[in-house]
C-alpha cells in the first residue's frame, strides 16, 4: 500500500526510468509493480491545470497493458500450461512469441507414441483450465491429400470420399475406412489410416480417446505438416438434449512436421517433430469474458497475513513481527503508516481477500501473545508469540 507523492518533474523522471529497461534486459510488461507504479504516478501527478506533455506514451503494436486482475488470470492460465509441460519432461525455451505456448517432441521414435502424448497433454491442459467441454479433432495430412485434394479420382470414389468427409468418430470410423476397398487401395492413405488406428489404441491407454474425434473435414492451413494434424475446440452445451454441441472456436492445435527443421538446416538434415500450441490469448479472452459475465472477484495479491495494530506508536513492533513472518516464508503485509486506525486495516483485509490478521497492542505485548483473527469469521484467539508462526502455517495448510 505505497503512498506516492513526488514532484511533477521528478515523477516523470522516475516514470521514464521504470519504462526504460537496462541495456540487454528482457522487458516483460506488467511484471511486479512497474505498471501499477506508473499508473499511480500518472494519476497523482497529472492535474487538470498542469500543462500537457509534449510526448505520448503508447503501447507497442501487437501488445497491450494488463491490469493486476488480468495479470492474475493470465498467470493462472500460464501456470496450468507450463506445469503440464514440465510434468511431461519439457525443457524451457524462450522465443519472441506473444500468443502461444508450444510443446514439441523432436527425434526419431517409434510411430504414434509422441503424437499420442501431445494429445494427452492437450487434454490435461484444457481439463485443468476448466473451460468446459471440449473436443480434439484429428485428421491426416496425406489422407486428405490423396483422398480429397488430388485430382483425377473416379466419380464413385469421389462420392465415397464426400460421405466420409461428413463423418466423424473414433477408432470405429478409422476401422470402417480401413476396410473400405475403394479407399484402402491407395498406399499412402492406407499407411495413414494404419497409423491413426495405432494412435487411437494409445489414446485409449492414456484414457483420453473419448475426447478425440477423427474428422476428415479438418484442414490445417500450413504446408509443413506431414502427418497427423489436430485442433481442439470448446463446445457449448446445447439448449435442447437432441441438439449437437456447438463449436465455440479453436483454442489449441498442432501436428507432425517432419520436414520443417530440415528447411532451416544448411545440410538439410531432417529431424522428425510433432508438437502442439496452446492459444493462450484466446483462452485468456474467454476466461476474462466469463469473469465479467458472472461478476467473479479476482484477488490481485497472494498475501496470507496482515499485521495490524489498534494503537499508536507500534510501528517498530509491527516491523519486527512482519519480519518474522517473512523469514518464515509467510506472505504478509502491513499499512505504511506510523499510526493507522484499526478499522481501515480490517476493511483492507476484507477487500483484498486476505485470510488472516495478526494484531499487536499494549495488552498483547505485555502478556507475550498475539491476537490471530480470521477475516472470514471475525473470530480472534490469543496465541503465544513463540507459537504464532506454527499456528499460522497450520491454518494456511488446512485452508
Place of cell 503424437: 115
Indicate if the pLDDT at residue 110 is higher than 90. Answer: yes
Indicate if the pLDDT at residue 188 is higher than 90. Answer: no
Give the angle 333-324-370 at the CA atoms, nearest 5°: 80
- The more confidently predicted of residues 96 and 392 is 392
User: Could you tell me the pLDDT band of residue 251, with boundaries at 50, 70 and 90?
Assistant: very high
Per CATH, the homologous superfamily of domain 305-398 is Anticodon-binding domain (3.40.50.800)
| Domain segments of the chain as ranges | 68-294, 305-398
Q: What is the pLDDT of residue 1?
A: 47
Indicate if the pLDDT at residue 5 is higher than 70. Answer: no
DSSP string, 90-118: ------S-SSEEEEEEES--STTHHHHHH
Residues contacting residue 385 through CB under 8 Å, at least 6 positions apart: 368, 369, 370
User: Could you tell me the pLDDT band of residue 361, with boundaries at 50, 70 and 90?
Assistant: very high
What's the predicted TM-score (pTM) here? 0.72
Over the Cα atoms of the chain, what is R_g?
29
Q: Which of 144-153, 299-308, 350-359 has the lowest mean pLDDT?
A: 144-153
220 is in an annotated binding site: yes
Q: Which of 86-90, 129-133, 183-187 has the lowest mean pLDDT?
A: 183-187
Percent of the chain with pLDDT over 70: 71
CA–CA distance, 38 with 4 (Å, rounded to integer)? 11
User: Could you tell me the pLDDT band of residue 210, with boundaries at 50, 70 and 90?
Assistant: very high
User: How large is the average pLDDT for residues 312-325?
Assistant: 97
Indicate if the pLDDT at residue 159 is higher than 80. Answer: no
Indicate if the pLDDT at residue 34 is higher than 60. Answer: no
Q: What is the pLDDT of residue 109?
A: 93
Indicate if the pLDDT at residue 214 is higher than 50. Answer: yes
Q: What is the pLDDT of residue 212?
A: 94
Percent of the chain with pLDDT over 90: 46
Bridge pairing between strands 212-215 and 134-140: parallel
User: Could you tell me the pLDDT band of residue 189, with boundaries at 50, 70 and 90?
Assistant: low
Indicate if the pLDDT at residue 222 is higher than 80. Answer: no
Bridge pairing between strands 273-279 and 228-236: unpaired
Residues contacting residue 92 through CB under 8 Å, at least 6 positions apart: none
Query: What CATH number was assigned to the domain covering residues 68-294?
Result: 3.30.930.10
225 is in an annotated binding site: yes
Q: What is the pLDDT of residue 298?
A: 86
Q: What is the pLDDT of residues 38-73, one digit of tens each?
A: 455 445 555 555 555 566 777 666 667 888 888 989
State the chain's mean pLDDT as an integer: 80
Amino acid at each position: 500500500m505505497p503512498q506516492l507523492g513526488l514532484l511533477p518533474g521528478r515523477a516523470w523522471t522516475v516514470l521514464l526510468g521504470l519504462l526504460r529497461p537496462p541495456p540487454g534486459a528482457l522487458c516483460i510488461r506488467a511484471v511486479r509493480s512497474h505498471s501499477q507504479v506508473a499508473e499511480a504516478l500518472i494519476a497523482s501527478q497529472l492535474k487538470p491545470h498542469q500543462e500537457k506533455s509534449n510526448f505520448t506514451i503508447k503501447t507497442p503494436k501487437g501488445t497491450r497493458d494488463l491490469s493486476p486482475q488480468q495479470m492474475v488470470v493470465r498467470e493462472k492460465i500460464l501456470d496450468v500450461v507450463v506445469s503440464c509441460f514440465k510434468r511431461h519432461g519439457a525443457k524451457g525455451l524462450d522465443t519472441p512469441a506473444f500468443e502461444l505456448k508450444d510443446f514439441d517432441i523432436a527425434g526419431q521414435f517409434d510411430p504414434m507414441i509422441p503424437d499420442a502424448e501431445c494429445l494427452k497433454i492437450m487434454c490435461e491442459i484444457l481439463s485443468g483450465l476448466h473451460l468446459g467441454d471440449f473436443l480434439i479433432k484429428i485428421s491426416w495430412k496425406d489422407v486428405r491429400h490423396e483422398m480429397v485434394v488430388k485430382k483425377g479420382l473416379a466419380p464413385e470414389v469421389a462420392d465415397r470420399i464426400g460421405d466420409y468427409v461428413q463423418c466423424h468418430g473414433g477408432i470405429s470410423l478409422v476401422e470402417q475406412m480401413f476396410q473400405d476397398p475403394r479407399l484402402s487401395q491407395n498406399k499412402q492413405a492406407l499407411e495413414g489410416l494404419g497409423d491413426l488406428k495405432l494412435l487411437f489404441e494409445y489414446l485409449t491407454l492414456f484414457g483420453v480417446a473419448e475426447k478425440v474425434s477423427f474428422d476428415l473435414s479438418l484442414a490445417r492451413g500450413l504446408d509443413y505438416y506431414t502427418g497427423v494434424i489436430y485442433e481442439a475446440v470448446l463446445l457449448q452445451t446445447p439448449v435442447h438434449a437432441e441438439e449437437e454441441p456447438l463449436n465455440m472456436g479453436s483454442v489449441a492445435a498442432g501436428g507432425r512436421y517432419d520436414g520443417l527443421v530440415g528447411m532451416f538446416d544448411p545440410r538439410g538434415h531432417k529431424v522428425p517433430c510433432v508438437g502442439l500450441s496452446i492459444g493462450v490469448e484466446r483462452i485468456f479472452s474467454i476466461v476474462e469474458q466469463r469473469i465479467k459475465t458472472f461478476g467473479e472477484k479476482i484477488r490481485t495479491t497472494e498475501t496470507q497475513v496482515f499485521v495490524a495494530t489498534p494503537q499508536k506508536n507500534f510501528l517498530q513492533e509491527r516491523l519486527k513481527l512482519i519480519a518474522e513472518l517473512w523469514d518464515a516464508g509467510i506472505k504478509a503485509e502491513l499499512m505504511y503508516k506510523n499510526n493507522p486506525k484499526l478499522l481501515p486495516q480490517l476493511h483492507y483485509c476484507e477487500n483484498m481477500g486476505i485470510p488472516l490478521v495478526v494484531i499487536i497492542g499494549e495488552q498483547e505485548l505485555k502478556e507475550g501473545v498475539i491476537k490471530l483473527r480470521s477475516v472470514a469469521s471475525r473470530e480472534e484467539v490469543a496465541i503465544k508469540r513463540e507459537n504464532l508462526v506454527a499456528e499460522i502455517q497450520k491454518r494456511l495448510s488446512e485452508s
